[in-house]
Amino acid sequence: MASVALAMNVDSDRAVDRALQDAEVAGYSGYFADPDGHLWEVAHNPGFPPLGDGRLRLPDDDLRS
């Protein structure tokens, strides 16, 4: 069986803490599994801030336009 790790990027360190706390209350910690068994990582990376709709603007996006 193949596995996939998904990432959830949020807008601050505090949002990472909040998301992981919510997951822990649901019975998970750190990486957590969704109901289909997919692993999720919650992370804050100041080099890749999320846009208002949750997408990321990567540094080389301007090169693709």
Prediction pTM value: 0.44
Q: With a cut of 70, list the residues of the chain below it in pLDDT.
A: 1-2, 24, 26-30, 45-48, 59-65
pLDDT for 12 equals 92
Under DSSP, the state recorded for 25 is H
Which residue, among 47, 51, 50, has the nearest Cα to 59 in the 3D structure?
A: 47
Sorted by where each starts, the structural domains of the chain and their CATH numbers stand as: 1-45 (3.30.720)
pLDDT for 13 equals 92
Q: How far, in Å, CA of 21 to CA of 9, rounded?
A: 15
